[in-house]
């Protein structure tokens, strides 16, 4: 099968670029031999083959699960050859049929859907791309692979052709049929290998397995991405994510697992989803799939059947639906994905976070069944540099592991560390416990986690459920406001959980049950969005408004800038402390690359705008140079000097070559020192030219989690 030459220009892709494996890549290869693949190979093949990711990686895992460049190159040729020879494209269907007829037998890769011919009492298959219909299929195949009956699955199939004596008989026959999936996933070996990775390493392994480069994701951004895996490992989990276009919301459900199905929200019907009583009670999608994602779920113009909403409410709450007088249960999780058109601040001020949904779904009883609302506006738009070149699991392997973990229950794993406040309602607790359980299965499948790690997931899960509750309150006054709080077992301060947007826009958020005050140090390393707030703390507001830039501030404070937030700017953070200064010194070793120099220029623009006419502010930068970027860095910084000559800002710079140069700060001659743990690099990279909103406004950019201290010198 793999020795036939490729047809000219068919399936060709460029030779794989050479990427030196990182320490993490080598660790993945060592602990999961034969179960990983280099993710950029998948991306390269995807450009030339309209094939689901799990199909490509099934083949790549058989031929390219190594870091040997020669083996990868040879394996990639084999995969290309297999796809070119056996994968059926719609526009080549007649050619493939001819090949089968002439050879008598040919192996094809296509999606098969099977239906029962109730008059004849036998099953018939339809090939999606090949276009063959009513092809007899053996009962044994249907018994082994029941998903053939609902939605269909992609298979490697031997198809034969022989003219039948009976003119009504089909000349096409299916000789062998094998779904494209990993044959076996040993979960015990998976758990043993997981124990060899730190939490940070494991998060990066999973991010690379999903096709993303973890280097460009902070810890909270990783959690916002990994929560999308919960429907695969948690039974009857209901997730809603609304956000801007282009953030990859539905990618994980279209490409990641053969156990999930992505359907358009406008194509949903009760018979298709649950049971078709007019077709002898045929069970719908929920009976066969672990996860069903409704894509493009938002939209006011969609026609929605109110009876479907009612059936879904019952299923999402009780896992049951009816077939005539019979009650049936299913385990499929439901994911609702859609786009938002309004900003977070606008929705908070004028409506609610469910506003983009069709009116019939803006039903408090339906929405209360949602376990978590993932804030899609915090997810960065997909761009080329976010894709991984490293190694990750063959997606079908991790999909099988996640499927196995559906039988586990971690919902109470936090109870030996924390207890939930009595004010929390039962439905809210069920909601965040299912999110917590899913995240535990994903990150700590062996159940081994520290108290701080448990708290990180518990706080995040409670935040996602609180977002549901708070916005139901805006549409249904009969719902009661509940506290979202927990405390350490054995005593300790009660921690109240609020969402980052409540802290960011306090004027627009509904008044909480108790006053939220200063945010504590977030658990798990980087700031996680300032969602956990101690009930009895003292200090400045968690997200203070910038002081008046007309006069110097007198408060020495500490500010936590949340990760993945918008609405922050140098003006908001620095203006009040730079006011009146005639000399400003910046120490930041990481002003080397173009985007870092652009950050510097943004600060210089602020100083320029604040300086009175007729005055001059001297701004000096001390930074660091390395051999790789020194030449370009000098070119960039000298250009900045040239551009500000003759203006109200006199800019100069020099290099500190000390190997211990790490601390970053801004010091003014008015007696302020601003200590910056990330320096000026407070914003995530964004994709957009000079006409983009992000280019012209820092407040439109997503932040990187950071901490800033303002000190009197």
pLDDT at 535: 37
Query: Residue 409: left (phi > 0), alpha (psi -120 to 50), or beta?
Result: beta
Residue 455 has pLDDT above 90, yes or no: yes
| Residues 133 and 49 placed together within one structural domain of the fold | no
Other C-beta atoms closer than 10 Å to the C-beta of 411 total 19
CB 236 within 8 A of CB 319: yes
pLDDT at 70: 86
* End residue of a domain, out of 403, 418, 443: 403
- Residue 15 falls inside a structural domain: no
Report the side by side order of strands in the sheet with 260-264. 260-264, 291-295, 333-339, 238-243, 372-375
CB 148 within 8 A of CB 125: yes
**CATH number of the domain encompassing residue 624:** 3.30.870.30
| Residues 308 and 263 placed together within one structural domain of the fold | yes
| Residues 109 and 247 placed together within one structural domain of the fold | no
Q: What is the pLDDT of residues 166-213, one digit of tens each?
A: 777 889 999 999 888 765 689 999 999 999 999 999 999 999 999 999
- Residue 549 falls inside a structural domain: no
What does each C-alpha distance from 285 to 21, 50, 268, 291, 325 come to in angstroms? 41, 24, 10, 9, 20
| Total domains present in the chain | 5
More confident residue, 255 or 346: 346
Best CA proximity match to 339, nearest among 291, 366, 299, 387: 299
- Phi, psi angles (nearest 5°) of residue 295: -80, 155
Question: Per-residue DSSP letters for 306-363?
Answer: HHHHHHHHHHHHHSEEEETTEEEE---EEEEEEE--S-HHHHHHHS-TTTTS-GGG--
| Residues 365 and 421 placed together within one structural domain of the fold | no
Residue 531 CA, distance from chain mean position: 19
- Residue 348 falls inside a structural domain: yes
pLDDT at 674: 96
Residue 331 has pLDDT above 90, yes or no: yes
Best CA proximity match to 511, nearest among 284, 348, 673: 348
Q: What is the pLDDT of residues 51-92, one digit of tens each?
A: 777 788 888 877 887 778 888 888 888 888 888 889 888 888
User: Helix, strand or coil for residue 176?
Assistant: strand
- Residue 12 falls inside a structural domain: no
| Residues 236 and 367 placed together within one structural domain of the fold | yes
| Residues 571 and 529 placed together within one structural domain of the fold | no
Residue 40 has pLDDT above 50, yes or no: yes
User: Helix, strand or coil for residue 669?
Assistant: coil
**CATH number of the domain encompassing residue 218:** 3.40.50
End-to-end, the C-alpha distance of the chain in Å comes to 75
Residue 96: pLDDT band with limits 50, 70, 90 = very high
Residue 641: pLDDT band with limits 50, 70, 90 = very high
Point out which residues pair with 667 in neighbouring strands: 585, 673
Residues 6+ apart with CB under 8 A from 191: 445, 446
Best CA proximity match to 465, nearest among 405, 420, 406: 420
| Residues 194 and 160 placed together within one structural domain of the fold | no
Residue 362: pLDDT band with limits 50, 70, 90 = very high
User: Helix, strand or coil for residue 445?
Assistant: coil
| Residues 80 and 105 placed together within one structural domain of the fold | no
Which structural domain range is residue 59 located in? 23-86
Angle CA 211–216–222, to nearest 5: 65
* End residue of a domain, out of 152, 179, 206: 179
The Cα–Cα gap between 659 and 677 comes to 17
CB 76 within 8 A of CB 16: yes
pLDDT at 395: 86
Residue 265 has pLDDT above 80, yes or no: no
Report the side by side order of strands in the sheet with 617-623. 558-561, 706-712, 672-676, 665-668, 583-587, 617-623, 649-655
User: Helix, strand or coil for residue 485?
Assistant: strand
* End residue of a domain, out of 179, 201, 230: 179
**CATH number of the domain encompassing residue 96:** 2.40.50
Global pTM? 0.78
303-329 burial code (b ≥16 CB/10 A, e <16) = ebeeebbebbbebbbeeebebeeeebe
| Residues 334 and 370 placed together within one structural domain of the fold | yes
Other C-beta atoms closer than 10 Å to the C-beta of 134 total 11
| Residues 463 and 497 placed together within one structural domain of the fold | yes
- Phi, psi angles (nearest 5°) of residue 61: -65, -30
- Residue 284 falls inside a structural domain: yes
| Residues 453 and 469 placed together within one structural domain of the fold | yes
- Residue 103 falls inside a structural domain: yes
The Cα–Cα gap between 659 and 578 comes to 29
- Residue 10 falls inside a structural domain: no
Residue 3: pLDDT band with limits 50, 70, 90 = very low
User: Helix, strand or coil for residue 668?
Assistant: strand
Report the side by side order of strands in the sheet with 485-488. 418-420, 485-488, 495-497, 532-534
The Cα–Cα gap between 556 and 560 comes to 14
| Residues 64 and 98 placed together within one structural domain of the fold | no
CB 575 within 8 A of CB 581: no
- Residue 576 falls inside a structural domain: yes
pLDDT at 71: 86
Angle CA 66–68–72, to nearest 5: 70
- Phi, psi angles (nearest 5°) of residue 584: -130, 130
């Amino acid at each position: 099968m793999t020795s036939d030459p490729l047809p000219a220009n068919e399936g060709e892709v460029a030779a794989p670029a050479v990427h030196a494996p990182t320490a993490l890549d080598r660790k993945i290869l060592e602990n999961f031999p034969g179960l990983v693949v280099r993710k950029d190979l998948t991306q390269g093949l995807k450009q030339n083959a309209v094939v689901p990711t799990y199909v490509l990686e099934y083949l790549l895992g058989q031929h390219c699960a190594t870091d040997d460049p020669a083996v990868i190159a040879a394996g990639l040729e084999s995969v290309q050859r297999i796809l070119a020879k056996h994968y059926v494209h719609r526009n080549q269907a007649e050619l493939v049929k001819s090949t089968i007829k002439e050879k008598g037998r040919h192996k094809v890769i296509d999606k098969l859907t099977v239906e029962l011919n109730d008059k004849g009492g036998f099953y018939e298959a339809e090939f999606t791309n090949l276009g063959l219909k009513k092809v007899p299929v053996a009962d044994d195949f249907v018994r082994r692979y029941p998903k053939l009956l609902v939605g269909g699955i992609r298979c490697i199939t031997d198809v034969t052709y022989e003219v039948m004596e009976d003119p009504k008989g089909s000349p096409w026959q299916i000789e062998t049929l094998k779904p494209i999936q990993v044959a076996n996933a040993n979960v015990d070996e998976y758990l043993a290998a997981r124990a060899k990775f730190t939490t940070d390493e494991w998060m990066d392994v999973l991010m690379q397995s999903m096709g993303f480069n973890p280097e460009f994701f902070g810890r909270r951004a990783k959690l916002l991405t990994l929560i999308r895996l919960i429907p695969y490992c948690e039974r009857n989990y209901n997730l809603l994510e609304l956000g801007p276009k282009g953030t990859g919301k539905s990618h994980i459900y279209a490409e990641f697992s053969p156990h999930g199905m992505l359907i358009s929200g406008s194509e949903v019907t009760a018979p298709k989803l649950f049971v078709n009583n007019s077709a002898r009670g045929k069970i719908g999608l929920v009976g066969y799939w672990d996860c069903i994602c409704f894509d493009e779920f938002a939209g006011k113009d969609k026609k929605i059947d109110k009876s479907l909403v009612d059936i879904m409410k019952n299923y999402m709450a009780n896992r049951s639906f009816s077939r005539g007088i019979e009650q049936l249960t299913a385990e499929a999780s439901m994911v609702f994905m859609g786009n938002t058109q309004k900003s977070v601040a606008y929705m908070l001020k004028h409506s609610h976070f469910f506003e983009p949904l069709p009116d019939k779904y803006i039903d408090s009883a339906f929405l209360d069944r949602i376990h978590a609302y993932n804030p899609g506006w915090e997810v960065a738009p997909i761009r080329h540099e976010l894709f991984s070149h490293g190694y990750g699991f063959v997606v079908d392997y991790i999909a099988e592991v996640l499927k196995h973990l559906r039988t586990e229950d971690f919902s109470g794993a936090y109870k030996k560390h924390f207890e939930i406040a009595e004010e929390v309602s039962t439905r809210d607790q069920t909601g965040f416990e299912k999110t917590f359980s899913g995240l535990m299965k994903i990150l700590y499948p062996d159940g081994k986690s520290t108290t701080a790690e448990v708290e990180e997931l518990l706080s995040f899960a409670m935040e996602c459920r609180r977002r549901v509750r708070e916005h139901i309150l805006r549409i249904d006054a009969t719902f009661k406001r509940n506290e979202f709080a927990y405390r350490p077992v054995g005593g300790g301060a009660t921690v109240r959980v609020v969402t980052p947007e409540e802290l960011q826009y306090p004027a627009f958020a509904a008044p909480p049950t108790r006053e939220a005050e200063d945010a504590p140090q977030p658990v798990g390393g980087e700031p996680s969005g300032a969602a956990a707030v101690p009930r009895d703390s003292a200090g400045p507001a968690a997200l203070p408004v910038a002081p008046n830039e007309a006069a110097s501030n007198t408060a020495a404070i500490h500010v936590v800038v949340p990760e993945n937030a918008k609405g922050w700017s140098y003006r908001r953070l620095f203006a009040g402390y730079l006011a009146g200064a005639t000399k400003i010194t910046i120490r930041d070793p990481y002003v080397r690359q173009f985007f870092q120099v652009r950050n510097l220029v943004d600060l210089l623009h602020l100083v320029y705008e604040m300086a009175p006419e007729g005055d001059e502010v001297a701004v000096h930068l001390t930074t660091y140079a390395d051999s790789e970027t020194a030449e370009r860095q000098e070119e960039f910084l000298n250009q900045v000097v040239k551009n500000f000559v003759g203006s109200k800002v006199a800019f100069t710079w020099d290099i500190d070559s000390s190997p211990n140069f790490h601390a970053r700060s801004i010091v003014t001659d008015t007696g302020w020192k601003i200590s910056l743990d990330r320096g000026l690099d407070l914003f995530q990279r964004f994709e957009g030219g000079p006409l983009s909103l992000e280019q012209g406004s820092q407040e439109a950019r997503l932040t990187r989690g950071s901490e800033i201290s303002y000190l009197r010198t």
